[in-house]
């Protein structure tokens, strides 16, 4: 299967043009692959590797290293809560527990409506603003239960209105065509 090549031929060409060595385009291509396949499946990794003429093991290693690549399907909004040491000292573990309880999912679980996936991640560099999370690249900081409820309400309204902020892939696509 060549899903990325079929779906994003123009974008791939635009991205590859910007790198003297096509291997360097691996991260944006992985985002396109994730979008095309729904997650970073083995097929998605293989296709990226084929396009860039690199080893699929290299793509697998990057996918495991960066928290924005998902090897399992995820919801529309991925709530990546930092529970690394500094955040844990500021209540991150209790915050994760509260989030999972409210959404009715375990860590790594996705809500039945497909909207939210809860994940825990290592330090995101906002230790002094914990508890904090990253949702589709956007930081939400100094969180508590009330602010979390407001965030979920805002995201649900956004999803219903269809007026979401541009996704990572949409930004990459615009960049490729600029």
Which positions lie near ligand FES, rule CB under 6 A? 82, 84-87, 123-127, 130
Q: Which is nearer to ligand FES, 71 or 84 (CB)?
A: 84
Name the minimum Å distance from CB 42 to ligand FES. 31
**H/E run at residue 85:** helix 85-89
Task: Give, in order, the Cα–Cα distances in Å from 66 to each of 20, 139, 162.
Answer: 23, 16, 28
Exposed / middle / buried, residue 68 (Cβ in 10 Å: 0-12, 13-18, 19+): middle
Query: Between helices 145-161 and 92-103, what is the axis angle to 10°?
Result: 40
CB of 49 to ligand FES, least distance (A): 32
CB of residue 95 vs ligand FES: minimum separation in angstroms? 11
Closer CB to ligand FES, 44 or 99, in the complex: 99
| Nearest-approach distance from CB 79 to ligand FES, in angstroms | 14
**Cβ contact 27:62 at 8 Å:** yes
- 52/126 with CB nearer ligand FES: 126
| Residue among 55, 156, 162 nearest 114 (CA) | 156
The residue among 38 and 91 lying less far from ligand FES, judged by its C-beta, is 91
């Amino acid at each position: 299967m060549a899903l990325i090549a079929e779906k994003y031929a123009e974008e791939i060409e635009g991205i590859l043009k910007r790198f003297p060595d096509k291997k360097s385009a691996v991260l944006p291509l992985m985002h396109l692959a994730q979008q095309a396949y729904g997650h970073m499946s083995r097929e998605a990794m293989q296709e990226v590797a084929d396009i860039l003429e690199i080893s699929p093991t290299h793509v697998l290693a990057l996918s495991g290293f960066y928290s924005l690549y998902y090897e399992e399907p995820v919801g529309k909004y991925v709530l990546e809560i930092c529970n690394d040491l500094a955040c844990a000292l500021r209540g991150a573990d209790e915050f994760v527990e509260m989030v999972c309880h409210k959404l009715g999912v375990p860590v790594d679980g996705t809500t039945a409506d497909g909207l939210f996936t809860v994940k825990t991640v290592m330090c995101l560099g906002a230790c002094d603003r914990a508890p904090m999370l990253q949702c589709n690249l956007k930081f939400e900081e100094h969180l508590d239960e009330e602010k979390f409820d407001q965030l979920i309400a805002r995201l649900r309204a956004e999803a219903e209105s269809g007026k979401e902020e541009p996704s990572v892939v949409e930004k990459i696509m615009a960049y490729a065509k600029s």
